[in-house]
């Protein structure tokens, strides 16, 4: 077993027994709002965010609302408390709408139904953020079961196909699709083989979809975070690894979710009007040349 240097610990040792993890049970709770004023860069926009109940998704939902957008959050049933906290924060602090949709996005029909619910409430979709993901660390590829492999691909990449297909009929010229990939897509991860494979697929999906939708003037980009303090960490790593999570990055720490959200705002607004098919690397200084 790897020995943990106590001097490097930045979090308390903690674990959660199942995925997805719960943000309200983390210590410390992730920082999802930079507390800076918005500038209405997304005024009037209607945005859909998968996994928007917690982690990066919550920070993106808050950042979008701060910029004047209404948001719809698609989340798993077990994440009801985190989702309600996110919605209450957005509606009370920014006076924007936050519509909650419970769905298992690993199934195509569920994705269609979720987008139908969005349209009933918002009548349009300006930004689709494909963010939800799972990962299950293993020491050896032989430990990756067919069930795990199928779930990881279904949630992490198949769902993106399903949601894009369901959303495109309601997206107009100037709309944006933003996909969350990972630094592991570029450097790999010996303990996250199936997860990293899905994240590599997301990079190719982003570039290919961008080319496919260029004539429709719908931009497609991605964000590749490095280590981020989200519920996925205590829900998938053992307590000792959680305590030193992110200390191997060049900045010697993980990001807080709000530090990732700005990249999504940039890609969702007109500031990035000449950007498509690209991946923004928000990874604490790791050079990936991708």
pTM: 0.96
**Alpha carbons 285 and 109: distance in angstroms, whole number:** 40
Structural domains in the chain, sorted by start: 41-282 (3.40.50.720)
Q: Could you read off the pLDDT of 88-118 as tens digits, one per residue?
A: 999 999 999 999 999 999 999 999 999 999 9
Q: Could you read off the pLDDT of 192-218 as tens digits, one per residue?
A: 999 999 999 999 999 999 999 999 999
**Alpha carbons 220 and 34: distance in angstroms, whole number:** 25
Q: Which residues are catalytic?
A: 195
Mean pLDDT of 1-20: 74
The closest of 194, 92, 207 to 136, measured between CA atoms, is 194
Determine the straight-line distance between the first and last CA of the chain, rounded to whole angstroms: 33
Q: How many CB atoms lie within 10 A of CB 93?
A: 12
Confidence of residue 289 (pLDDT cuts 50, 70, 90): confident
State the pLDDT at residue 18. Answer: 85
């Amino acid at each position: 077993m790897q020995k943990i240097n106590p001097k490097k610990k930045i979090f308390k040792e903690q674990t959660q027994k199942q995925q997805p993890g719960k943000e309200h049970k983390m210590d410390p709770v992730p920082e999802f709002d930079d507390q800076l004023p918005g500038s209405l860069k997304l005024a009037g926009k209607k945005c859909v965010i998968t996994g928007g109940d917690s982690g990066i998704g919550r920070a993106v939902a808050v950042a979008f609302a701060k910029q004047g957008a209404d948001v719809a959050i698609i989340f798993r049933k077990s994440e009801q408390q985190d989702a309600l906290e996110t919605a209450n924060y957005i509606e009370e602090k920014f006076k924007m709408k936050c519509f909650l949709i419970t769905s298992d996005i690993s199934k195509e029909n569920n994705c269609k139904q979720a987008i139908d619910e969005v349209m009933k409430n918002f009548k349009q979709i300006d930004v689709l953020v494909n963010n939800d993901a799972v990962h299950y660390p293993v020491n050896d590829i032989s430990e990756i079961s067919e069930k795990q492999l199928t779930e990881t691909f279904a949630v992490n990449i198949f769902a993106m196909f399903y949601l894009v297909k369901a959303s495109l009929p309601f997206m107009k010229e100037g709309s944006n699709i933003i996909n969350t990939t990972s630094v592991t897509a570029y450097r790999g991860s010996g303990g996250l083989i199936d997860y990293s494979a899905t994240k590599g697929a997301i990079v190719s999906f982003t570039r290919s979809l961008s080319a496919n939708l260029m004539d429709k003037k719908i931009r497609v980009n991605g964000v590749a975070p490095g280590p981020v303090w989200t519920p996925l960490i205590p829900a998938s790593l053992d307590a000792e690894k959680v305590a030193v999570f992110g200390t191997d990055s060049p900045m010697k720490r993980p990001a807080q979710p709000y530090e990732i959200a700005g990249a999504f705002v940039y890609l969702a607004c007109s500031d990035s009007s000449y950007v498509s098919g690209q991946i923004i690397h928000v990874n604490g200084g790791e050079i990936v040349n991708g």
